[in-house]
Amino acid sequence: MLTRFEGQTIPFRIHEKDKISEVMGKIVRAGYWNRSSNSVDRTVAPIIEIDGRYVFSLPGVAVFPKLPDGEILKPELRWKIASAKPAKVDAELVYITDGLTWQADYNAIMAFRTDDLHAVTTDTVLHYRAEMEQSTRALLDGIDRWISLTFEIDSLEVSGDLMAVAYQVAQPGLQPAGFELFDVSDPERPRSIALFDASAPHSRGCHALWFVDGKTVHMACSDPELKPRDPKDDQIYRIVDVSDPGRPQAVGRWHLPGTMHGDDAPPPRRLAPKYDAGFRAHNTNVYPERPDRCYLGYLDGGMMVLDIADRSRPQLVARWSNSPPYNGFTHTVLPLFGRGLLVVTDESIQDDGADWPKLVWLLDARDERNLVSIGTLPVTGVKPLLHQGGRCGAHNVHENPPAPGAWRSEDVVLGTFFNAGVRAYDVRDPYAPREIAHFIPPAPEGSPVSTAQINDVFVDDRGIVFAVDRHAGGLYILEMAL
């Protein structure tokens, strides 16, 4: 894209601590990467002229002007890719950026261990203002790999006319890491309002956020002020006040004692290396029925109920953990307030059942300080698929979001189970939950595994079910008649 606008002056967007600004720069030279004949990697830096002076790096994220209607770009792509064995690889690259979408399909022959993939693609460019690079996803060699990744978007939430988008970088220290607020009053033209910067040498930013009241973002995010004892423990529970959307303010935080440098508590006992995913926050759910409580999944630390009446000082009310002897990665905590129950999921993160069992648990929470496990959702339809390819086991549930247009139920729980699809359970008798429906699509074309991998689910107030595949299957829209 820089080559296309070489010689022209375009804006560059600069993300700073608490604001976003733009500077105009002329692209004197786009720069490029190549591999010389003696196998030495060589990078030729771009040259950008700003106010009569030259800089030899991009001053910010390039924002491209409108292209002529119907223009086709033919970029030349070169990737350095690790491969476990010689293989012919079918790969699909899908780029999704701010206002720009394009897609490329190609084949490649990969040599043993490492080699260069050189592909010339024809990409159609749509829309008109776009950041140069946000994420590039490649499906290669049967493994989901992220290549030349600046950052990824794992979570976003819309509340009224505001959208909060989580940014998690591939390596600690990269930017942007945190979340960005957008005005979506005109949905076709999202407008950036503010960037909450959580970048630091030890930070990967924000993995998941919860934003339902238009005023507060609850999130699993690194804190630049805290350094984890183990890099896998970097993301904690953070509370950010966005009542003034242009000036997000961090107001509170909580982490598992013993996981940060300077903690008085000793480090927690870790799971076996095969299962050690870290002690860090994941889903951070807060509901209007109990705005003083956060229902927190904390991966290998289990789940917590936090008192957040004083947002500046969250306090632990209760903790429930099943690992060991189970294999960690507690993901979501869904309270069923009228029932005195909690629904807790442990995410499957390894293929072919290697981290089985990954279950959905039912906890008696009538006394929130004494949580008691009373059962799990049946897995009769799940276990036969353990070794059919890809992940198999629990992931997420429909979280009864307190939002217009969302279906809410305390009698039926819908969950996603990767290759076991999306499944619905009747929990009116929590001591004897039963499966009442399921949907498993065929393996989608282009998937790196031999099965569908249903990853998340949302149900609207008409009972329409929206389920997504984490790889290539896209979105499935289902009718539900219970």
Structure confidence by residue, pLDDT tens digits, 443-469: 998 888 999 999 999 999 999 999 999
> Per-residue confidence at 17, pLDDT binned at 50, 70, 90?
low
DSSP state of 460: B
> Per-residue confidence at 151, pLDDT binned at 50, 70, 90?
low
| 361/459 same-domain check | yes
Higher-confidence residue of 140 and 22: namely 22
Res 88: pLDDT: 45
Res 226: pLDDT: 97
Residue 112 lies in a domain: yes
Higher-confidence residue of 164 and 137: namely 164
Residue 474 lies in a domain: yes
| 46/108 same-domain check | no
| 302/376 same-domain check | yes
**Which region among 31-45, 178-192, 312-326, 375-389 has the lowest average model confidence (pLDDT)?**
31-45
Q: Is the pLDDT of residue 36 over 60?
A: no
**Which region among 99-103, 216-220, 270-274, 323-327 has the lowest average model confidence (pLDDT)?**
99-103
Mean local confidence (pLDDT), 132-149: 34
Residue 90 lies in a domain: yes
Instruction: Give how many domains the chain has, as a whole number.
Output: 3
| 158/140 same-domain check | no
Strand order through the sheet with 236-241: 206-210, 216-221, 236-241, 249-254
Residue 70 lies in a domain: no
Residue 145 lies in a domain: yes
Model confidence pLDDT, tens digit, residues 178-196: 999 999 999 888 889 999 9
3-state secondary structure labels for all residues of the chain: CCHHHCCCEEEEEEECCCCEEEEEEEEEECCEEEECCCCCEEEECCEEEECCEEECCCCCEEEECCCCCCCEECCEEEEEEEECCCEEEEEEEEEEECCEEEEEEEEEEECCEEEEEEEECCEECCCCCEECCCCEEEEECCEEEECCCCEECCCEEEECCEEEEEEEECCCCCCCCEEEEEECCCCCCCEEEEEEECCCCCCCEEEEEECCCCCEEEEEECCCCCCECCHHHCCEEEEEECCCCCCCEEEEEECCCCCECCCCCCCCCCCCCCCCCCCCCCCEEEECCEEEEEEEECECCCEEEEECCCCCCCEEEEEECCCCCCCCCEEEEEEEHHHCEEEEEECCCCECCCCCCCCEEEEECCCCCCCEEEEECCCCCCHHHCCCCCEECCCCECCCCCCCCECCCCCEEEEECECCCEEEEECCCCCCCEEEEEECCCCCCCCCCCCCCEEEEEEECCCEEEEEECCCCCEEEEECCC
| 119/186 same-domain check | no
| 141/157 same-domain check | no
Res 73: pLDDT: 55
Mean local confidence (pLDDT), 195-200: 94
| 311/230 same-domain check | yes
Model confidence pLDDT, tens digit, residues 232-257: 999 999 999 999 999 999 999 999 99
Domain boundary among 127, 149, 171: 149
Res 63: pLDDT: 80
Domain boundary among 103, 125, 149: 149
| 162/305 same-domain check | yes
| 188/302 same-domain check | yes
Query: What CATH number has the domain bearing residue 365?
Result: 2.130.10.10
Q: Is the pLDDT of residue 309 over 50?
A: yes
Res 470: pLDDT: 92
Higher-confidence residue of 33 and 144: namely 33
Mean local confidence (pLDDT), 376-403: 97
Domain boundary among 125, 149, 173: 149
Residues in the chain: 482
> How many CB atoms neighbour CB 154 within 10 A?
15
| 307/342 same-domain check | yes
Residue 104 lies in a domain: yes
Which is nearest to 463 in space by CA: 427, 414, 420, 430?
A: 414
Res 71: pLDDT: 62
Q: Is the pLDDT of residue 164 over 90?
A: yes
Percent of the chain with pLDDT over 90: 63
Residue 71 lies in a domain: no
Residue 18 lies in a domain: yes
Please classify residue 313 by burial: count the beta carbons closer than 10 Å to its beta carbon, then call 0-12 exposed, 13-18 middle and 19+ buried.
exposed
Higher-confidence residue of 200 and 41: namely 200
Res 13: pLDDT: 84
Could you list the residue range(s) of the whole structural domain that residue 17 is in?
1-65
| 174/31 same-domain check | no
Model confidence pLDDT, tens digit, residues 52-78: 887 877 888 788 776 666 665 544 444
Res 380: pLDDT: 96
Q: Can you tell me the distance from the alpha carbon of 54 to that of 114, in angstroms, rounded to the nearest whole number?
A: 36
| 325/424 same-domain check | yes
